[in-house]
Amino acid sequence: MRIDAFLSVSALLATLQGVNGAPTGTGTNPPLRGSENLLGYSPSNTLNDENTDNIQYTPVPGQNEDAKVAPYLDFENSENPQPIRGDTGGTDPGPRNYYYDRINSDKLAPPGTDNGATINAMWPMGLSHNRLGIKGSGWARQQNINAMPDATKMAGVDMRLEAGAYRELHWHVAAEWSLVLNGSVRIQAVNENGETFVDDVGAGDVWFFPPGVPHSIQALDNGTEFLLVFDDGSFSEDNTFLASEVFLHQPKEVLAKDLDLPISAFDNLPGDELYIFPGTPAPKDIQEQNVTNSAGVIPQSQSYSYHFSEQPAHEVAGGSVKIIDPLTFPIASSFSAAIVTVKPGAMREIHWHPTSDEWTFFISGQGRATLFTAPDQATTFDYHGGDVGYFPQSNSHYIENTGSEDLVFLEVLQADQFTDISLGQWIGNVPKQIVSDTLRLSNESLNSLKKEKQYVVSGKYPSS
> In terms of residues, how long is the chain?
464
> Is 170 assigned to a binding site?
yes
> Is 249 assigned to a binding site?
no
Tell me the three state secondary structure of residue 347: strand
> Is 176 assigned to a binding site?
yes
Of 104, 140, 138, nearest to 122 (Cα)?
Answer: 104
Phi–psi pair at 417, nearest 5 degrees: -160, 140
> Is 314 assigned to a binding site?
no
Tell me the three state secondary structure of residue 287: helix
Contact between residue 334 and residue 323 where contact means Cβ atoms under 8 Å apart: no
- Give the E-state strand segments of 63-214 in sequence order: 84-85, 88-89, 122-124, 131-132, 138-143, 155-161, 166-171, 176-190, 196-202, 206-209
Contact between residue 346 and residue 401 where contact means Cβ atoms under 8 Å apart: yes
From 50, 192, 411, 444, the catalytic residue: 411
Kindly tell me the burial class for residue 419, based on how many C-beta atoms sit within 10 Å of its own C-beta (0-12, 13-18, 19 or more): middle
In angstroms, the CA 339 to CA 337 distance is 7
Of 346, 354, 342, nearest to 410 (Cα)?
Answer: 342
> Is 215 assigned to a binding site?
yes
Sign, Cα dihedral of 455, 337, 411, 201: negative
DSSP per residue over 381-410, as a string? Answer: EEEETTEEEEE-TT-BEEEEE-SSS-EEEE
Query: Any catalytic annotation for residue 405?
Result: no
> Is 172 assigned to a binding site?
yes
Catalytic residues: 411
- Which residues sit in the known binding site? 170, 172, 176, 215, 351, 353, 358, 397
- Which residues sit in the known binding site for Mn(2+)? 170, 172, 176, 215, 351, 353, 358, 397
